[in-house]
Structure 1
Amino acid sequence: MRYVLFTLSLSIVPLCARDFAFEKLYGTVNHCYKKECRKAIASSFLIEKGKPKGEYSPDKIQDFRNENWRDTAWCVSKNQGIGEYIYVSYSNNPRLNKYKDIWKREGYSFSFTIINGFVKNKDLFLANNRVKKIAIEVQEIAYTMSVQGPDTITGTDIEIFDGPILNGVHEIELVDKMDEQEFKINVVPVSKRDGYLQMDLLLKMTIKEIYPGNKYKDTCISDARFEMVVPEDKKK
């Protein structure tokens, strides 16, 4: 009997194991993991000789609230950016993201806003590559707010009950212009764990095609952000 019980306990462990690598990624990008809060994470970024190491780092893609945001951009040089990716934080609304409310509304949407290329000036915009096609991978997470403890993501009040679940991949073609471009993306919840759990998204952008620059082989994006679309009947 002891042998049987021991064997069963070993078979259960993988099913209950937590994905700490994912939790660290999700916590850092969307929340706060230890001291890193809402931080964009990329596969790579350009390091240019004679300039600070972080001149074109991932965080430059989400500094649009800064006065001089047009002077910065996330840039990549590897393979001219093709296949390179970045995780950008998602602005959710905790009052409106419970599964029971989403199912009742029969919908859940988020907006994707991007400023393509290096828009510090027109010469730099044309000199560097811009993104032509980008794929947005949507990972769904069913979670609840909890007291910090052994089951929550380190340093957060987030306890994951389901996920990450691949909700879908959306390919978007961008216009080759310096102006802001906005897209609305609809998602259908996959998790059916508990209607009172909340729904969150982890969003990964992967560069698929580019508009070639006339001087450099680096690909740049000045700004990108994701925000929950507040349902019309909830605005009042």
Structure 2
Amino acid sequence: MNFAFGQGSLKNYFPKSVFKADLSAKIDNEIKRQSELLKKEKLTSTEQKELDILLEKYGEVVESMWDIVDGGCSWYCGGGNYEVKSSSSLNSEKGIKYQAKNANDLNYRTAWVEGKPDEGVGEYLEYYFKNNSPRITEIIISNGYMKSETAWKNNNRVKKLKLSVNGKPFGILNLEDSKSDQKFKLGTFGHNKNGTDLILRFEIVEVYKGGKFNDTAITEIYFDGIDVH
């Protein structure tokens, strides 16, 4: 184990559940077709049967395959973080910016990529929450560059993240090497007794190597919790 970041004495955590999002062309086309049928004023009997099947499969609030959180009410309706920062970010030769906000837009199509010339060990994302924001009970990480199978395989994925809470090391999050959303339940965060904002830092400790690029990507870090409904 690498002790450079002090994780030797920190507790190791593993995902409580793993969800593999289906980002296939078939799903994309079906959701688009559902939206198309919902917009029509009058449906034929055949179209109505088709819509009923799609609604049963996806639900009415789904707007896009790329949406990580559906269009209906969620924990984010009550708050969420107000800022995200990164220690570095990659700017591609094509002018594409893989900024911190890409890991905070609830979209599978975009990703944050660290900007160091190596694999990015020590680089981090930092999320800021107002003290009166709903408390967090779940942290979900969409590991790697998930927009396509090729992008996911070509770039590094995170193997270990060091989580710090309000500047204090909390533990090591151990991620699977799978194109998936990995859910961690680590307790309840937020509503600091001293009234300060909650700050969660996720620091890269170790990676799974990509097949082509030595850049480490995280599609999204998002949250669920209490104090909303």
Band the TM-score falls in, shorter-chain normalisation = 0.5 to 0.7
1:82 aligns with 2:118: no
Using the alignment, how far apart are the partners of 1:207 and 1:48 within structure 2?
Answer: 20
Q: TM-score, normalised by structure 2?
A: 0.57
Q: Is the 8 A contact 2:162 2:204 kept in 1?
A: yes
Shift of residue 83, structure 1, vs aligned partner: 0.6
Q: How does 1:86-235 map to 2 (within 5 A)?
A: 86-90=125-129, 94=133, 110-139=137-166, 166-186=167-187, 198=195, 200-227=197-224, 229-230=225-226
Shift of residue 50, structure 1, vs aligned partner: 1.8
Gapped runs of 5+ residues in structure 2? 1-78
Runs of 4 or more, structure 1, over 3 Å off, are: 89-94
Using the alignment, how far apart are the partners of 1:119 and 1:125 within structure 2?
Answer: 5
Residues 185, 122 of structure 1: alpha-carbon distance in 2 compared, 3 angstrom cutoff: same
| Corresponding letter in the other structure for 1:86 | L
Deviation by residue 1:2-52 (Cα, 9 ceiling, x = unmatched)? xxxxxxxxxxxxxxxxxxxxxxxxxxxxx9xxxxx8231101001111224
Shift of residue 210, structure 1, vs aligned partner: 0.1
Using the alignment, how far apart are the partners of 1:188 and 1:63 within structure 2?
Answer: 21
Shift of residue 57, structure 1, vs aligned partner: 0.6
SS in 2 for 1:125: helix
Shift of residue 110, structure 1, vs aligned partner: 2.6
Residues 213, 93 of structure 1: alpha-carbon distance in 2 compared, 3 angstrom cutoff: same
Gapped runs of 5+ residues in structure 1? 1-30, 32-36, 98-108, 140-165
- Highest Rg: 1 or 2? 1
Q: For structure 1, which segment, 218-227 or 208-217, has the greater mean C-alpha deviation from structure 2 after superposition?
A: 218-227
Equivalent residue, structure 2, for 1:51: 95
Shift of residue 120, structure 1, vs aligned partner: 0.9
Using the alignment, how far apart are the partners of 2:208 and 2:129 within structure 1?
Answer: 27
Shift of residue 177, structure 1, vs aligned partner: 1.0
Aligned length: 149
Equivalent residue, structure 1, for 2:24: none
Using the alignment, how far apart are the partners of 2:154 and 2:189 within structure 1?
Answer: 40
Residues 47, 128 of structure 1: alpha-carbon distance in 2 compared, 3 angstrom cutoff: same
- Percent identity for Structure 1 against Structure 2: 30
| Corresponding letter in the other structure for 1:111 | E
SS in 2 for 1:175: coil
Equivalent residue, structure 2, for 1:100: none
Equivalent residue, structure 2, for 1:60: 102
Q: Is the 8 A contact 1:88 1:224 kept in 2?
A: no
Using the alignment, how far apart are the partners of 2:120 and 2:168 within structure 1?
Answer: 25
SS in 2 for 1:176: coil
Q: Is the 8 A contact 1:77 1:217 kept in 2?
A: no
Deviation by residue 1:110-145 (Cα, 9 ceiling, x = unmatched)? 311110000111111000000000011001xxxxxx
Using the alignment, how far apart are the partners of 1:202 and 1:48 within structure 2?
Answer: 29
